[in-house]
Every structure is written in structure tokens, then in C-alpha cells.
Chain A
Amino acid sequence: MNVFLWNIILALAWALLTGHFTVNNFTAGFVLGYLVLWVVLSGEAKSSYFKKISLVIRFAFFYIWNLILASLKIAYDVITPRHRMKSGVIAIPLDAKSDLEITVLANLITITPGTLSLDVSTDRRVLYIHAMYIDDKEELIQEIKTELEKRVLEMLR
């Protein structure tokens, strides 16, 4: 997190010194700052920061792509006359422990079209979600756990 702040400061300094305060210039400054930090830093701070940045970028692309795919699936169901969905409430066992991890996971599940998180059990072991397409319950749980929860935990821990 500290290194990320340094990266932002370097990008700001670049934008101020070159005098063009535009998005492209700021991005260029960020990339240059990233390269500078890559050269300067060493040890643990370096490996964790650069690993996390790449994880976050990959997750963002993966998530946006999933978002669009799921939206199109629901859009098809909305437009065509028959409902193909099988809705219901299912329980997902949680590996996430802290408040932050559970909040992020629940919000990401809610933003994904087709799933909506309803509640967390008092002992925080289970997340109850409402899903629209329960063709195979085990498969859906496995999908959320491996594709969403695993990546979230990798990014936050």
C-alpha cells in the first residue's frame, strides 16, 4: 500500500513537472513511476507490490468480462418470452474471515448479474445468496469459490 502511494506521488510529480495535467500524461507518469520503483525497490516490498498490482489488473479485466457475459445472459432471458431460469436461495461456505474480506466478496457477488447476497450467518461461516440460474448447485458454489473468493483472498491477504 505504501509503495502504491509512492507510485501515485511519482505520477503527480511527473504531471506537475511536465506541465500537462491530462489523463494520458498522468498515466505515462504512473507507468514511469512503476518502472522506477521496479528498479529501485528490492526485497519483500517489491515482490508483494508488483504481484498485487498484476493480480488487481487481471482481476479487473476478468470481472468486467464476466459482468458483461452475465448481463447478456439475463438480457436474453428478459427479451425472450419464456423464463429459462431456476431461481433460489443457496448457502455458500465462506473461507473469508475478516469484515473487509466478507464485505468485498458479498458486494462483488451482488454486482455480478444473476447472484445477490442476502445475509451472512451470525458465526460468519456461511453466506446466503439468491441466484437466478441454479442448474447445478454444487457447480455454482464451486464457481463462486474458485473464481471469485479465491482471487479476492489472494488480493486482500
Chain B
Amino acid sequence: MIEIIVTILLISGAAFMLLAAIGITRMPDLFTRMQAATKAAALGASFIFCAVAFFFSELGVTTRAAATIIFIFLTAPVAAHMLGRAAYLLGVPKWEGTVTDELRDRYNLEKGTLSSKSIDSIKKIPVYKQP
């Protein structure tokens, strides 16, 4: 039983890693490439760590696997966020299929600020209400 779970986890983890690799070559611009690379790779790595935890099923191994997964999911988005922001500020060309860009002309690079003005959706009623 445990072998079947481990096998499924390992295969799907490896498949996600492979998809991330293919995605990097196939996607049309930097932002979509990063979408493929960061998420699928993080997901694949955590599947493999889950498989390790299931296979050994000892507290020492499981806690270390869990800690590794937590740290992957803490660091990967920060790295992706910084790369994406830097790329946007440098004006990396976007794919021709890009339909909208609401961030254009909102940076004030001299003052180092980012405005939120004249966005129509901001006037909407907030969804969350404090109980």
C-alpha cells in the first residue's frame, strides 16, 4: 500500500518537474516562463519530499521533509515576485498575445512610488466584512 502511494507521488513529482522544464522553453515571454518554472518546480519538489516522508515514515525524516517543503513555499514566491518586478521595471518585452496591462505608466521612478489612481474596480464594495 505504502509503495503505491510513494510511486504515485514520485512519478507525479517528476512529471511536474519535466513540465516546468518544457514550459521554460515553450512559453512566449519572461512572465509566463516564470509562471511555469517557479510553481511547477516547487510543486514537483514537494511531491518528491512527500514521497520521501511516506517511504521512511520516521519522525526525523518527516519533520525535515515538512520543513523543506515549507521553506520552498516560503522562498519560491519571494524570488518570483522580485524577478517579475525587476523585469517589469526594466521593460522586458511582453508577448504579443498580452491582452491588458494595468501597471503601465503607474510607476513614478523619481519618487519611487506606485500609484493606485483611476482604476475603476477600486470603487467596488469590499467583499470581506468584519464580523
A75 to B57, CA, bound (A): 31
Residues 28-58 of B, flagged 1 when their CB comes within 8 A of A and 0 if not, give 1101101110111011000000000000011
Q: Is the CB of B59 within 8 A of A116?
A: no
Give the CA-CA distance A29 to B120 in the complex, in Å. Answer: 52
- Bin chain A's interface residue count: 35 or more
Contact of A138 with B121 in the complex, beta carbons under 8 Å: yes
Supposing A22-B57, A78-B22 touch, asked if A122 and B115 sit within 8 A by C-beta, the answer is: yes
Instruction: Give the interface segment out of A1-9, A35-43, A146-154.
Output: A146-154
A59 interface contact, C-beta 8 A: no
- List of B residues within 8 angstroms of A112 by Cβ: 39
* Least distance between A98 CB and chain B CB atoms (Å): 13
A 93-109 binary contact with B (CB < 8 Å = 1; else 0): 10100000000001100
Expressed in whole angstroms, the Cα–Cα distance for A133 and B106 within the complex equals 23
Q: Give the B interface residue count (CB, 8 A).
A: 55
**A121 within 8 Å of B by Cβ?**
yes
Q: How far is the CB of B110 from chain A (nearest CB, A)?
A: 13
Q: Least Cβ distance of B88 to chain A in Å?
A: 6
Q: Which of B36, B59, B116 has the most CB of A within 10 A?
A: B116
- B8 CB–A CB distance under 8 Å: no
Contacts of A13 in B (CB 8 A): none
A149 to B95 CA separation, bound complex (whole angstroms): 29
Q: B34 to A150, Cβ gap below 8 A?
A: no
- The digit string for B89-131, where 1 denotes a CB below 8 A from any CB of A, is 0000011011111111010000001111001011010111010
1/0 contact string of B13-28 vs chain A (CB within 8 Å)? 0001001001100111
Provide 15 A-B residue pairs closer than 8 Å at the C-beta atoms, listed in order of the A residue. Answer: A24-B57, A75-B16, A83-B28, A88-B99, A89-B102, A93-B122, A110-B38, A110-B76, A111-B39, A111-B73, A116-B81, A117-B84, A130-B31, A137-B100, A150-B127
Residues of B within 8 A of A (CB): 16, 19, 22-23, 26-29, 31-32, 34-36, 38-40, 42-43, 57-59, 62, 73-74, 76-78, 80-81, 84-85, 88, 94-95, 97-104, 106, 113-116, 119, 121-122, 124, 126-128, 130
Interface residues of A (CB under 8 A from B): 21-24, 26, 67-68, 71, 74-75, 78-79, 83, 85-93, 95, 106-107, 110-123, 125-126, 128, 130, 132, 134, 137-138, 141-142, 145-146, 149-150, 153-154, 157
